[in-house]
Structure 1
Amino acid sequence: MIASVRNSIERIAGPAPGPGILAAVSGGIDSMSLLHVLRSLRYDISCIHINHEQRGAASDEDAVLVGQYCEEHDIRFVEHRIGDRLTALVPSGSIQASARRLRHQLFHETAAQFGIAHVATGHNKDDQAETVLLNLLRKTGLDGLTGMPESRPIMDTEIRLIRPMLSITRITISKYADNNAVIWSEDASNQSQKYRRNRIRYSTLPALQDTDLSLDVIDEIVDMSNAVREMIDHALGDILTRASIALDDTDPRLSIKSLQGLPDVVRSWLFLRAIRKWLPGAPARRSTVQALEKLINVSTGKKIVFQEGTVWREREHLVFVRGTSDGSPGINNGHALLPALTVERITGSVDLSNIALKPGADTVLVDAATIVGALEIRFWRDGDRFMPLGMTGTKKLKSFLTDRKVNVSARRGFLVVEDAEKIVWVVGLEIDNRVRVHPDTTEILRLSTTE
């Protein structure tokens, strides 16, 4: 078992994974055995324990168990208690899904704080077989048949979640724990039949095994899962390359023409991959695929809204915008991620030939005497009006963006700078005609934005 874990880690991270490994340890037999193995391999280990606070004193006892082990063996230990946060999130989804999102967020935050690139969990081969069967029931398509990857990025960052025991059975782990006197705690909820995974573990898999005792059902399911993953990585990847489709983080969109030329099964797989990559946390299931199929056959401007963001139908593309339920980009957990607005005063004569504005400029000059009150930056909204250069009357900003041929999805990210009375600058496009600099201007404000 030790050799198997070492080989897995070296395959993922090399012979000396630096700078260390953050072990996610619940206190159960799998994660405590993983912690014991990592210590035996003399890796630089830190440990994170997520206390869900859902089982009263038993939850605290698990935290004490893990904490004491780490103290005895000089392992850096951090506990996160998430009961209150979990309760607040449950209305937006199942408690299991909410807990998973919170765990991954805390894995990422803690690893980043410690400067660690890999977070290891104790998922095993039996877990993999259960996951494949669960995914079949959840209608998650081809990707669901691939089960859990041995390694994947956490929250689209360089920090990776690794599962070095994914090829090891639960029986092998149990024998290792017995032989090495590993102390662990049994979570009573793991026996509860109200959870679908437990019903698969204690009823479905044993029933499948009973149909043919000559087969190892778990091995068969996992082998099939690995074969599907290999097929997807090679065959479907080649199809997408020939169709000129790439899941590019810098431009999260899919060509409708290319999508329509794909086989149904490939298009469904691509939709699920795009959702997982660009709107992580959004439901990756058959109902989502069906909604996206409809979206490519409707008029421009239609959208599908998820809690995690929005998919927009443009003329030639489906555009994935991460953000709030109305699709506004740059919003995270209710806080606007606005660029900073810098205001600098310039006095004296100005060479007007050097202040011509260009579309996309992040710096503009305005007449200071025309500004009323404080300047603020915000996202534009319906009903906004301003006076474009050369005009004497105001115009709806929505119409102005349409005239500039700004796509429906892209325009939602546009920012404006306003004073107490009016919009001064549509950032990246144009200033208001009333604030432009004239030959008799005596004081100028230089406005600029920085991320």
Structure 2
Amino acid sequence: MLFAVKQHINQNLPFLKGKKLLVAISGGIDSIVLTHILHQLKFDISLAHCNFMLRGKESNKDEIFVKDLGEQLNLPTYTIQFNTKGYATENNLSTQMAARSLRYNWFQELIKEHSLDYLITAHQKDDVIETFLINLTRGTGLDGLTGIPEVNKNVVRPLLPFIRNEILVHATRNKLQWREDSTNSSIKYVRNKIRHKVVPFLKELNPSLLETFSNTLQNLKGSQQIVNDRISEVKEKVITSSGNDLHFSVAELKKLSNPKIYFYEILKEYGFTEWDDVTNLLDAQSGKQVFSKTHCLLKNREVLILSEKNTIEEVRSFEVLENTSKIKEPFKIKFKKVDIPFDTKNHPNKVFSELISDKPNTISIDYDKLQFPLTIRKWQKGDYFYPIGLNGKKKISKFFKDEKLSLIEKENSWLLCSNGDIVWVIGKRLDNRFKVSKTTSTILKIKL
């Protein structure tokens, strides 16, 4: 098997040569064989072991075993203990999903901290069919049926072409020691139930199950590539960018043969799950929304707007002290105080025009009309201001309606205020009361 792994890496994973690798090691047979093989092949490896504190003394013995192995092989070894059950409860996750989240987050932290190149895991071919069957029973798309990827960003799985029995034979012949996880024999967990009950039955039906499954997997991956190519074509037709948001043309989406399927392929990375509700947005009234945990999809006239949920929603206002030059929240704004020479303000000329000339997202305000600290806050019902270029006052809500802002754009609108008066609907319109005039002595230039 040593030669087979070496040949596989040379042919399919040559980018691993000369790189610094972090091996995820549980102490079980798969990760132990992987560690010994990579060590024998002279790869630059470090070991990372997670103690999830789920099996009492047994978990602690696994950790000690891995530390001893690292010492025997003279390899850098990192270990960590997690309160997995507590994390699962706090984040409303299953124990297995909590463990997965904890370990992969920690692995990536180690890679960054120690300037490593790749995370190496010991998944093998039997794991692939188990994952396929788990996803199949839960409901999934092509992504869930194409198995565990051999390379996913900086995560690499060199043992995927090898079956569990090959790994067992190699470990036995080379008299390797490993730890047995007692929970692996329990059918309490879905994966173990599939491993011990379903897969053996399928192998009885088809002794060549793993071989035929590999062929099926390749066919599915080919189909997935065709789907991805088609989705890329559709995205070019239906999606346009607007700042941090994505706009989907309702008219173009309605031309598709099965919008629900296209929505799934396009929006799955944003956490949506209620696909009927998403599809129904095509014929919904303006203002209708569908939410995922991280994003919002809004029907706004002839487009659907995809935007990220506001992470600063709880913070409703920010103060700007006098002589502040810049702020970073709720977004980056620069402030610059400029004095106007006496002869310039009394004799308008090119210099004066340049001083007060505004560009998109930049305004000039009469500094002496301001009362500090200024406040940046979200708009509220009943707010009004005196829009520059118009006579009289106007409610913010009416201004937004006239400007044809979407619900998301309204929710993401902020106001710059002085002593309760609105100075600027930020990025949209200045208040007439604070504009620069011929009597202005000092200007406050504000750039968003």
Q: 2:168 aligns with which of 163, 171, 174?
A: 174
Distance in 1 between residues matched to 2:80 and 2:239, nearest whole Å: 34
Q: Which runs of 5+ in 2 are unaligned?
A: 315-327, 346-350
Please say if residues 368 and 445 of structure 1, whose CA atoms lie closer than 8 Å, have aligned partners that are also in contact.
yes
Question: SS at the partner of 2:283?
Answer: coil
Please give the alpha-carbon distance, in whole angstroms, between the structure 1 residues aligned to 2:182 and 2:240.
43
Q: Is the Cα contact below 8 Å between 2:263 and 2:275 reproduced in 1?
A: yes
Give the secondary structure class of the aligned counterpart of 2:42.
coil
Match of 2:282 among 289, 293, 296: 296
State the Cα deviation string for residues 364-383 of structure 1 (Å, max 9, x = none). 33222233232455565666
1:175 Cα deviation from its structure 2 partner: 1.9
Deviations 1:416-437 (A, max 9, x none): 4445524433333233333322
Give 1:204 deviation, angstroms: 0.8
Cα deviation for residue 18 of structure 1 reads: 6.1
Change (3 A) 1:413 1:204: same
- The one of 289, 310, 313 aligned to 1:328: 310
Q: CA RMSD in A?
A: 3.4
Structure 2 equivalent of residue 425 of structure 1: 424
Alpha-carbon shift at residue 236 of structure 1 (Å): 5.0
1:192 aligned residue? 186
Percent identity over the alignment? 29
Q: CA deviation at 1:117?
A: 3.8
- Given that residues 255 and 317 in structure 1 are in contact (C-alpha distance below 8 angstroms), is that contact kept between their aligned partners in structure 2? yes
1:272, distance to aligned residue in structure 2 (A) = 3.6
**CA deviation map 1:386-424 (0-9, x unaligned):** 442245655444443333333333444444444552443
Q: Normalization by structure 1: what TM-score?
A: 0.80
Separation of aligned partners in 1, 2:418 and 2:85: 38
8 Å Cα contact 2:340/2:441 also seen in 1? yes
Deviations 1:62-113 (A, max 9, x none): 2332233233334333334331685265553333333333333333333223
Contact 1:142/1:269 (CA < 8 Å) preserved in 2?
no
- Which residue number in structure 1 is paired with residue 320 of structure 2? none
Aligned to 1:369: 368
Distance (whole Å) between structure 2 residues aligned to residue 83 and residue 6 of structure 1: 38
Match of 2:155 in 1: 161
In the alignment, structure 1 residue 231 sits paired with structure 2 residue 223: yes
- Alpha-carbon displacement from aligned partner over 1:260-288 (angstroms, at most 9, x marks no partner): 33343xx55543443443x2xx36xxx53
Contact 1:346 1:443 in 2 (8 A): yes
Unaligned segments of structure 1, at least 5 residues: 154-159
CA distance in 2, matches of 1:190, 1:399: 63
Kindly report which structure 2 residues correspond to 1:253-402, keeping only aligned pairs within 5 A, or say none. Answer: 253-264=247-258, 267=259, 270-277=262-269, 279=270, 282=271, 288-322=274-308, 327-328=309-310, 338-349=330-341, 351-354=351-354, 355-359=356-360, 361=361, 363-375=362-374, 377=376, 385-391=384-390, 394-402=393-401
Give the structure 2 partner of residue 156 of structure 1: none
Residue 42 of structure 1 corresponds to which residue in structure 2? 42
Question: Structure 2 CA distance, aligned partners of 1:18 and 1:398?
Answer: 61
Quote the offset at 1:121 in angstroms. Answer: 1.5
CA separation of 1:88/1:172 partners in 2, compared to 1, >3 Å: closer, same or farther? Answer: closer
Structure 2 vs 1, CA of residues 337 and 369 (structure 1 numbering), >3 Å: closer, same or farther? closer
Kindly tell me the number of residue pairs found equivalent between the two proteins: 424
Contact 2:88 2:95 in 1 (8 A): no
Question: C-alpha separation between the residues in 1 aligned to 2:239 and 2:129?
Answer: 28
Report deviation, 1:138: 1.1
- CA contact under 8 A between 1:9 and 1:164: conserved in structure 2? yes
Give the deviation of 1:137 after TM superposition.
1.0
Map of 1:442 onto structure 2: 441
CA contact 1:352–1:439 (8 Å) conserved in 2 = no
Flag the 1:443–1:79 CA change in 2: closer, same or farther, 3 A.
Answer: farther
Change in Cα spacing, 1:395 to 1:8, as seen in structure 2 (3 Å) is farther
Range moving further from structure 2, 73-82 or 172-181: 73-82
